[in-house]
Structures are given as C-alpha cells and as structure tokens.
Chain A
C-alpha cells in the first residue's frame, strides 16, 4: 500500500478555510486519494476522493498536485462541528479493497 504522511494536529478558526495537507509520494497511477473523517465516538465518514483532477462536493474540495505526490483537503468555511480526525488514504488497488488508515490529522476548530 502507498503510505501517506499527515501533520499530527492542526487548528483553525471558525469560519475560516481549513487546509489539510497530505503527502503520498509513492502513489501509483491507478490509486485514488480518499479523505475520511472521524468525529469523536463515531465511525469514519467519507468526505471526498479523486484520482488526478481537483474535486469539489458539498463538504469539501480536494486539490491534487500534478505529480500526484501530495494533496490538500479544503473545508471552505470551517465550523465547530468539523472538529475531527481527518484521514488521507490511498486506496489499495491490489487484492482487498480495504482502507489503510494512518494516524490522521486531528483538526480543532476554535470559536
């Protein structure tokens, strides 16, 4: 599995954009980048995924660099409810389609 590297923790002010970086320098051509988040005491929640192009949905935007070695998840107007651990995952293409979770980034939104 390609591994990802994320900062351990980040803080962001409520109402501001939260930009969460992720490095995945060993990603292969057919592997997608997924983002999930886990709010305290809940199961992980899907946010967004992409392959090469930037993606946007109602929750967030995903910016993937041209060489695909890194990406940034953007929460455009963070709220207190966005406080969670955010996981950047490169989807395993070989064999099982399991998600390989790292330690993630603990994002704290401050009032």
Chain B
C-alpha cells in the first residue's frame, strides 16, 4: 500500500517568510510524528499527534513552529518568520497505534532551505 507522503519535496524560501509543510500518513495510522534533521545530524523530535488527544509539543524549538492535524489524516507543520537555522530536512512518520512497540514509518522528508 501507499506509504507516508510529504510535500513539497524541496522548499526554498527567504528569511522571514512563512512556510507550510504537509504530511499524508498511512491510512488508518492513528499516531503521527514530525522530526527535523539538520545536515549531518541525527533526527530531532518536534511534535506528535495521537488520535484526538492533545498533541505532545515538547520538541518544538520555538513559538514560530506549530502543527495541526485533522482527525487521523493530513498534518501540516508551519514555520513562521523562517530563520536560516531552520534549514533542515523535515521528516514525518506515522504508526498504527500509541503503544511502545509500534514501528514508525517515515516519509521521504521535505528539504527546507532558508536563504
């Protein structure tokens, strides 16, 4: 079946602009995660959603970052007033349920470049 998809695959923006990144999880997956990966670094957790529960926003680096998810479908990650340090690959993952043994399936990521 279809995996996790993300769009756009690449985004170049100017410093100070807002950007919106999209994630389409695997159908039926209730949990959705956003991570960030700077060049040459490991993944940093940003936020996760589980069904209708309040999202865990503990990884968001600043109030310029926000994310939404409608039900168990699409999620959008918004970065306001982008800065050069926001340049990274933004990865989305989904998993079937909220248990510790669930595998996370990752999308291909969105490469964000802030000039």
Residues of A within 8 A of B (CB): 30-32, 42-46, 49, 87, 91-93, 95-104
Pairwise interchain contact B106-A43, C-beta atoms closer than 8 A: yes
Question: How close is A11's CB to chain B, nearest CB, in angstroms?
Answer: 19
Pairwise interchain contact B109-A97, C-beta atoms closer than 8 A: no
B43 contacts which chain A residues (CB < 8 A)?
44, 99, 101
Closest chain A residue to B34, Cβ basis: A98
What is the CA–CA distance of A95 and B42 in the complex, to the nearest angstrom? 21
Contact partner, A32, options B59, B91, B101, Cβ 8 Å: B101
Pairwise interchain contact B48-A97, C-beta atoms closer than 8 A: yes
What is the interface residue range for chain B against chain A?
20 to 34
B35 contacts which chain A residues (CB < 8 A)?
99, 101
Residues of B within 8 A of A (CB): 4, 31, 33, 35, 41-45, 48, 56, 58-59, 91, 93, 95, 98-109
Most buried by B among A32, A44, A102: A44
Most buried by A among B56, B93, B100, B101: B100
Closest chain B residue to A93, Cβ basis: B100
